[in-house]
Structure 1
Amino acid sequence: MSRRWLYWLPLAALLGACGESTSPPTGPEPTPGYAWRLPAGFPTPSVPADNPMTDAKVELGRRLFYDKRLSLNGTQSCASCHEQARAFSDGRIHAVGSTGQAHRRNAQALVNVAYATSLTWANPAITTLEAQALTPLLGTEPVELGFADKEEVLLTRLREDSALTARFAQAFPGEATPVSLATLTRALASFERTLISGTSPYDRYLQGGAVDALSASAKRGLELFLSERLECDHCHSGFNFQDATRHEATTEPLLPFHNTGLYNEDGTGAYPATDRGLIELTGRSDDMGRFKAPSLRNVAVTAPYMHDGSVATLSEALDHYAAGGRARKDNQGAPNRYQSGFVMGFTLTAQEKADLIAFLESLTDTAFLTDPRFADPAESP
């Protein structure tokens, strides 16, 4: 038995279950003081010690997430680039900020972001949701929400709302100044940690014993996904289909970044000067073109794909990996010298490609995409 089948042993057991149903396992014990509503088989997320989860913080964070006062010109909220129906992505090639300035990167989905070890495409220094929230609020390259050097404008705006100020005081009872940048980001992070998806057809098949939850095509696609021929699960592994994953029991969270052979500008592996990935921060040549591998949960509704949104469909994404990298396919040459050794190419029949897409579509969690707990409180109080 290979290493990966040992890793996915519960799944292998189901693949050989011959139609027999099993009782769904119970989820983890709730964290004291906060009742997590976790899907079966999901570990408890890791939470910073200085921002323990509470219902009051989560509800405040939800209201702030949808509040357009969080953009300087009042035109955008966090939800403008992170729509629930798209697993909290936006469907654009590049995100667009409140002033109309385009981001150079694709807006990441926030699905299961509570488990992510890295919170941007290529910055290993931003490892908490609290820290990440400062980037759209205060960043200048590009302008997103637009409050750089204007934090007091934002805080004054929020403090003028007596009902909102009362919610801050309830969520942060020990704070001398309840409405602050620190409490704002902590509330947003608390809400974002609740955006957990784990009731897709795949999950009902794997954890709930619902052997008919996946079609025959999707089951074949699952076996292909886990096969050594395709190597998909090296970067999209575990319960979250993501290698950069942590939770309460994780001892040493990994911060992997990968070059998938998307570009080879000069024949020696260079990426476009507009976005070269991790190398921009580290200066290490081996980090050319390296970006985070996102979770594949709800991937069918988060197109377009890749850090720059340059791959439009799941079919095109599979073509990219089958070719051993798009640059290799375009240039009919050797792999990009910096790209991952797991992106070496493979051959798929039309049926196998359809099966893989069927499996990836089975990761769509419609209950998550419509859950009123995550919706705009103005529409779902």
Structure 2
Amino acid sequence: MDKLGLRYALLFFGSWLVAACQPQSTPYVFALPDTIPPPAVPAENPITLEKVTLGRMLFYDTGLSVNRSQSCATCHQQQFAFAEPTQHATGATGEVVPRNSMALVNVGYNSAFTWAHNGFTHIEEQLLIPLFNESPVELGVTGNEKEILKRFTSAEYQALFKSAFATEQPSFDLIVKALASFVRSLTSFNSPFDQYAYEGDDTALTKRQIEGMNLFFSERTECFHCHGGVNFSQSSTHAAQSLVLQPFHNTGLYNEDGKGAYPERDQGLLRITFNQKDMGKFRAPTLRNIAASAPYMHDGSIATLEEVIEFYAQGGRGKGKSNPYKSPFVKGFNINEDEKAALKAFLESLTDHAFLTNPKHGPLLNQTM
């Protein structure tokens, strides 16, 4: 068991005891269309309104970082679909994270987490990385646990913890559970596409967007093979789904040595499995609100949607086109300029503007970031 795995086990040891003394709490009701099933919620952390409220407070609190310089919201900003408009994230101590901040859109529907890890199946596990990671340091909790926990002993936090967990005493076990509950509450199913496809509004999409939708779901472009399902990501699951898919794909971004190598700084799933066939494999992210979450790819190396479309039309980039580990779905396709514009227009129709501005997802009224 690696260090993060051990930490997860220790943090959640005794969850049954915490659950046994849960307060009278308010079950959280997801704001979902009738056609969308709720996300799966782990039995050891049932979602409640009180946990979501506490998690929301914590998400925007810079006190979670070692030097009070950053919060979760620093790298996950609501107006950018809870992503960040920079190529790479930067940790609280200035260390650069080699990956682009992923959008937190319908995260509760994910069957895998981070860009390239097949061992995390719950948000609670993933949250340990930004909190405790040491290389690179993100929030910098490791070694500073006692000092940071003291910051959450104010009367306001004591009341929030007591309401959510029947104890005024903060712990990282409870902090992680509250943060996970807030992140699960970030659901987005009110885009023009949703209104067209699920609400029966034939006027919600323009003629051009419908043309782009037909291209997206065609065998010519094959976009839907890696970005299918209710969340436009095959790496998804929900409460009514028994089949769990965790696909990771090599898209042909790199081929450093002519034999398939990705840059040493980040070789994807290979770093976890040590299986050479996993070289350069990364998780296909959701395309919901994709127009708001630039730049793109795991390393933020593609700036615009137009460039993304051209990248896939070319079947990769540079030498990466001939990467022997490249996904068979990334083979390139013929597309003219009008069709490119239509495909972009369809991707823009996946933007849920209400989600990007919903005050219930922002900081609490009495909270400063």
Do Structure 1 and Structure 2 share a fold, with TM-score over 0.5?
yes
Contact 1:172 1:178 in 2 (8 A): no
Task: Name which of 58, 67, 72 aligns with 1:78.
Answer: 72
Deviations along 1:213-267, whole A, 9 cap, x unmatched? 1111100000000000110000100111000001112223121110000101111
Deviations along 1:261-317, whole A, 9 cap, x unmatched? 010111111101111001111111100000000000000010000000000000110
**Amino acid aligned to 1:37:** A
Aligned residues: 343
Contact 1:95 1:107 in 2 (8 A): yes
Give 1:341's aligned residue: 328
Deviations along 1:23-56, whole A, 9 cap, x unmatched? xxxxxxxxx9332211342111100101101110
Deviations along 1:330-381, whole A, 9 cap, x unmatched? 24x8621001000000011000000000000000100000111101113789
Cα distance in 1 between the residues matched to 2:324 and 2:296:
22
Query: Displacement of 1:98 after TM fit?
Result: 1.1
Cα distance in 1 between the residues matched to 2:313 and 2:322:
12
Cα distance in 2 between the residues matched to 1:238 and 1:75:
38
- The equivalences for 1:226-241 within 5 A come to 226-241=217-232
**Amino acid aligned to 2:207:** A
Tell me, yes or no, if structure 1 residue 116 matches structure 2 residue 110: yes
Tell me, yes or no, if structure 1 residue 291 matches structure 2 residue 282: yes
Contact 2:255 2:261 in 1 (8 A): yes
- Unaligned runs of 5+ residues in structure 2 are 1-25
Query: Displacement of 1:205 after TM fit?
Result: 0.8
Deviations along 1:50-106, whole A, 9 cap, x unmatched? 110111000010000000101110111100000000000011100011112110000
Cα distance in 2 between the residues matched to 1:170 and 1:379:
18
Task: Name which of 298, 302, 305 aligns with 1:314.
Answer: 305
Root-mean-square deviation (Å): 1.5
Contact 1:335 1:344 in 2 (8 A): no
Helix, strand or coil: the match of 2:138?
coil
Contact 1:372 1:380 in 2 (8 A): no
Give 2:216's aligned residue: 225
Contact 1:200 1:366 in 2 (8 A): yes
Give 2:293's aligned residue: 302
- The equivalences for 1:1-381 within 5 A come to 33-159=27-153, 161-173=154-166, 175=167, 178-326=169-317, 330-331=318-319, 335-378=322-365
Structure-2 change in CA distance of 1:356 and 1:379 (3 Å): farther
The percentage of counterpart residues that share the same residue type is 50
**Amino acid aligned to 2:46:** P
Query: Displacement of 1:212 after TM fit?
Result: 1.4
Give 1:3's aligned residue: none
Give 1:15's aligned residue: none
Deviations along 1:89-143, whole A, 9 cap, x unmatched? 0111000111121100000000110101111001111221111111111111111
- Unaligned runs of 5+ residues in structure 1 are 1-31
Cα distance in 2 between the residues matched to 1:60 and 1:134:
18
> Structure 1: which 4+ aligned runs deviate by more than 2 Å?
378-381
Contact 1:303 1:312 in 2 (8 A): yes
**Amino acid aligned to 1:240:** N
**Amino acid aligned to 1:197:** S
Helix, strand or coil: the match of 1:234?
helix
Cα distance in 1 between the residues matched to 2:297 and 2:217:
21
Contact 2:78 2:362 in 1 (8 A): yes
Contact 1:277 1:291 in 2 (8 A): yes
Cα distance in 2 between the residues matched to 1:296 and 1:263:
22
Cα distance in 1 between the residues matched to 2:346 and 2:62:
37
Cα distance in 1 between the residues matched to 2:27 and 2:69:
36
**Amino acid aligned to 2:39:** P
**Amino acid aligned to 1:208:** E
Helix, strand or coil: the match of 1:158?
coil
Cα distance in 1 between the residues matched to 2:151 and 2:120:
27
Cα distance in 1 between the residues matched to 2:239 and 2:178:
20
Give 1:17's aligned residue: none
**Amino acid aligned to 1:340:** S
Structure-2 change in CA distance of 1:42 and 1:36 (3 Å): same
